[in-house]
Amino acid sequence: MHRRRCRSAVLALGVIAGLLAPTAVAAPPAAAAPAGTKKVIANLFEWNWPSVASECTNVLGPKGYGYVQVSPPQEHVRGNQWWLAYQPVSYRIESRKGTRAQFQAMVNTCHAAGVKVIVDAVVNHMSGQDAGGTGWAGSSYGHYDYPGIYQTQDFHHCGRNGGDDIANYNDRYEVQNCELVNLSDLATESDYVRSKIAGYLNDLLSLGVDGFRLDASKHMPAADIAAIKGRLSRSAYLVQEVIYGAGEPIQPTEYTGNGDVHEFRYGKDLARVFRSEKLAYLKNFGEGWGHLPSGSAAVFVDNHDTQRDVGGVLTYRDGGIYALANAFMLAWPYGSPTVMSSYTFSNRDAGPPSDANNKTLNTTCYSGWECEHRWRVVANMVGFANATQGAGVANWYDNGNNHIAFSRAGKGYLTMNDEDGAVTGRSYHTGLPAGRYCDVIHGDFTGGTCSGPVITVDANGWFTANVPAHDAIAIHTAAKLS
């Protein structure tokens, strides 16, 4: 049955509380996937450096996140809007999120907690301010004038559309040589420009950074990125922002030779399935849907851009359904997942909670900051993702509609009921060893004990349980009770 109910009306308050509850707080080639056994990335969007450091110690490390992605750290234009951080005026590590010393301390603290650091690196362009001005750290700049760094000859001047702006995404030259919303477009084919960009990235590597999200990668030829990557002082994880456009000449697959690529179709397709189609359709989600190869795909339910596109993806505003979509992402063996952590906004341009001088305030979760990465179902499914690394899908079940279940062969099991009514009295074949397991959707597994329901798997790998409407049960071998 194709339907869509009013989620706020049908989600039981108790289920919402369970799903949204915070977890208990306790130049070699770039890598083509996050290294190590802990691969889940937490995108702490616009968090300042002391807050990131504290979160690595208190939450990200203990809950098993492998990486934290931090917002652009370079000097940017002044103001509060979120996108001003994506308008560099110099490569000094000094921004509204903190000083160079605070950034260095954050990296060291996160490493001590077992969490690697990915920087959102803005290297396609500089600012979009025609009048110029003074940057956050005091550097003067003009649209094509960045003293000691770049001058007008270091930028593209495509001479199109009356202002050098991109208008036609079906024109490869225009997309990669004109300006994205007036942002001064760097001539990344220039040896000088490549040396300056590599110098910035190598400076970050010297501070211990482990990888980069390359912003606006679609607007740079893949060969230019490869040339810059070749100048890095050591290996680093790379993920490139290349938004898929049907029929466009520039495709995400062009960039997989450099590292991972964001699969923007993933979040949109997942939202459509949860909102208006059937979870049964997810049986071959990922490559079976024409998405990028799993080993090159970086996936997310939403990110800082897509959550501002009304209706396109699921976001924190969707509550329980958003939590379930994240649970599916973290349980399903496709791509490298990133969990979004947002601040509350109603105006799509609004920047993070800040003081009168636009300096980002310390994060206080659930008070201006959404902290989705702490929601119990999200944070605990990170442990599920870690425990099931390398295990394929087995024991798939669906009812032809919105009740699905599957195991990650011998390591974990998820059953998800997105029907409007409870599924009662069913038995589920997990393929897991017999024993008692913590249901990590509803409980925290700490010190060998579970704060929530315990699921008993029998000698043949089966358990019986009731699953409320719009809810789930998840178990895995790393949350097994003695």
Kindly provide the residue ranges of all beta strands, DSSP E only, lying in 353-434, ordered along the sequence. 393-398, 403-408, 412-417, 423-429
d(C-alpha 397, C-alpha 407), whole Å: 9
pLDDT tens sequence across 364-408: 999 999 999 999 999 999 999 999 999 999 999 999 999 999 999
Within 10 A of 452 (CB to CB), how many other CB atoms are there? Answer: 17
Reported as a pLDDT band with limits 50, 70 and 90, residue 6 is very low
Please indicate whether residue 241 is annotated as part of the active site: yes
Residue-range domains of the chain with CATH: 10-387 (3.20.20.80), 393-481 (2.60.40.1180)
Active site residue 215: yes
Tokens 């992605």 -> residue:
69
Q: Which amino acid is at 120?
A: D
pLDDT single digits (tens) 133-162: 999 999 999 999 999 999 999 999 999 999
Confidence band, pLDDT 50/70/90 cuts, at residue 14: very low
Among the listed residues 210, 215, 224, 439, the single catalytic one is 215
Contacts of 318 (CB under 8 A, 6+ apart): 7
Please state the pTM of the whole predicted model: 0.94
Please give the C-alpha separations between residue 55 and each of 41, 74, 116, 386, 398, in angstroms, as whole numbers.
Answer: 13, 21, 13, 19, 38
185, 241, 370, 418: the active-site residue: 241
The 3-state DSSP class for residue 41 equals strand
Q: How far is CA 73 from CA 85, 90, 100, 137, 473, in A?
A: 8, 10, 9, 12, 39
**pLDDT of the residue at 457:** 98
pLDDT digits (tens, 9 = 90+) for 76-108: 999 999 999 999 999 999 999 999 999 999 999
